Amino acid sequence: MPRIPSQTELDSLVELIAENPDGIGIDAIAQRHGDSLKRRSLQRRMALLVAQGRVQMLGEARSVRYIRTPKSVERVLSAHEDGTDLMQPSGEVYVPTSPQGAEIKAYVRRPRAARRPVGYKLAFLEQYHPNHTAYLPQGLRDQLQALGKSPAEQTPAGTFARDILNRLLIDLSWASSQLEGNTYSRLDTERLIEFGQAAEGKDALETQMILNHKHAIEYLVLDPAHAQLTPDAIIALHAFLSDGLMADPAAVGRIRRRAVEIGGSVYMPVALPQRLEELFGIVIQMAAEILDPFEQSFFLMVHLPYLQPFEDVNKRVSRLAANIPFIRHNLCPLSFIDVPQQAYVDAMIGVYELNRIELLRDVFVSAYERSCQQYVAIQQNLVPPDIFRLRYRQALSEVVAAIIKSDETATPANVKARVPSTVAAIDTDHFIQLVLQEFAALHAGNAVRFGIRPLELATWKQKHEGAN
């Protein structure tokens, strides 16, 4: 791994550049610097200074020259104790960034016109060999494993995710949607998921995006058989996540059949449908062969968006697919909560245009550490959700509300008469008992869950309480 430059080294470079107000090229800097730095090492340091805002880069390719940033607009440098720089302008929220990540950030922040257009490079995929190549070093994987271990480690696959499902539905639906520019707040998201209340003043597509995440997460978590790395499972995720959001409804849950462009990037993905479908199968097969869950998760975050197998919603699919290894191994899931949108966008453009993964790795590590803080420590204190109740939550609400609004007594016979067809025959008796339990615990404070007003409930109770 390249040596992290000291602050003294960086300061001396800035001073040298400041002596040349008209700018100075990389060769002249190397000659004037007078040490044994290789050109590539010097370029990394210059990229680091550009990312920090201490130096500005003018021109392109061989004509690039560097000038000292005027103090009036100089960005603030902030650094971790371990020497890893945040590389962020004053006031910008970003993730802790490695020197390699900073290079990528500096490049993708250049105007589109200053970046060379590129297409899909098969070599980027071919040079990866499952269980031999590693985007995440072994030491880092060990660290993440220690962070993500849970008390549910020895239980059946998916136990940890189901134990925290209510919390995960809200956090992952909100955070993943926010990375797409969705303006729902976390509280708005909670109200929508828990009570079906859409936020006022929000676009219907934003509401649909949140609900699509909820349904896709439930699909993965409620039935462990769905948490598989197969083409069909990934396509199913796309069907859930893109429902009602595609210009062409036929594109929902289907490998794309036309060329697409990436907003804000000069990357052009594969356009030929037959080639795309073939590569999609190869990517999923390679991912399935990876044994380490963290490497497997990160591989999906890199190569699914890079391939762009669907007309839209590719990054959302990759973020939920990245959780499949964690669900299967009972590790802390990755919710993406508190991931800055710009950091994620910069990292993905770095993959698209440079085939470099370091900045996305910085985002991944930061996001996973944050997720572990959210879930691992509290997992033992959570009451496991009633999966049966969760599956039939909507039907349960409808039956309770219908009996009250129809002024009926909550008897087993009346409940049975209103059991909807969505309840499986084998589940009918259990469902009836669940409805009766809800009536037994019903009061003015919790009746709002079923859309019942306090006065409406009081009138019903006065007439029917004890009659059943």
CATH number at residue 207: 1.10.3290.10
Sequence-distant (≥ 6) Cβ neighbours of residue 235 within 8 angstroms: 253, 254, 255
- Report how far residue 257's alpha carbon sits from residue 277's, in angstroms, rounded to the nearest whole number: 9
Q: Are residues 105 and 180 located together in one domain of the fold? A: no
Q: What is the dihedral of CA 123, 127, 128, 133, to 10 degrees?
A: -160
Q: What is the pLDDT of residue 441?
A: 86
Q: Kindly state the tokens that stand for 167.
A: 């919390």
**Domain-located, residue 425:** yes
What is the overall mean pLDDT for the chain?
85
Q: What is the pLDDT of residue 373?
A: 82
- Report how far residue 300's alpha carbon sits from residue 320's, in angstroms, rounded to the nearest whole number: 10
Q: Are residues 142 and 23 located together in one domain of the fold? A: no
pTM of the predicted model as reported, rounded to 2 decimal places: 0.65
Indicate the pLDDT class of residue 164, thresholds 50, 70 and 90. Answer: confident
Decide: 231 and 281 in contact? Cβ < 8 Å: yes
pLDDT tens for 314-327 read 999 999 999 999 99
Supply the range of the domain harboring residue 146.
Answer: 118-381
Decide: 362 and 96 in contact? Cβ < 8 Å: yes
Percent of the chain with pLDDT strictly greater than 90? 53
Burial of 213: CB neighbours in 10 Å, binned 0-12, 13-18, 19+ = buried
Q: Kindly state the tokens that stand for 334.
A: 């990755």
Sequence-distant (≥ 6) Cβ neighbours of residue 309 within 8 angstroms: 255, 256, 276, 277, 279, 280, 283
Q: Are residues 16 and 134 located together in one domain of the fold? A: no
Q: Are residues 22 and 146 located together in one domain of the fold? A: no
Residue 28 in this model has a pLDDT that exceeds 90? no
Q: Are residues 108 and 122 located together in one domain of the fold? A: no
Residue 298 in this model has a pLDDT that exceeds 70? yes
Q: Are residues 373 and 403 located together in one domain of the fold? A: no
- Report how far residue 298's alpha carbon sits from residue 251's, in angstroms, rounded to the nearest whole number: 26
User: Which of the residue ranges 100-114, 122-136, 162-176, 271-285 would you say has the lowest mean pLDDT?
Assistant: 162-176
Q: Are residues 242 and 353 located together in one domain of the fold? A: yes
Residue 380 in this model has a pLDDT that exceeds 90? no
Other CB atoms closer than 10 Å to residue 339's CB: what's the count?
24
pLDDT tens for 188-204 read 999 999 889 999 999 99
Provide the number of structural domains found in the chain.
3
Sequence-distant (≥ 6) Cβ neighbours of residue 311 within 8 angstroms: 246, 247, 248, 251, 256, 258, 260
Of 321, 346, 381, which one is at a domain's C-terminal end? 381
Q: Are residues 89 and 229 located together in one domain of the fold? A: no
Decide: 249 and 243 in contact? Cβ < 8 Å: no
Q: What is the pLDDT of residue 154?
A: 56
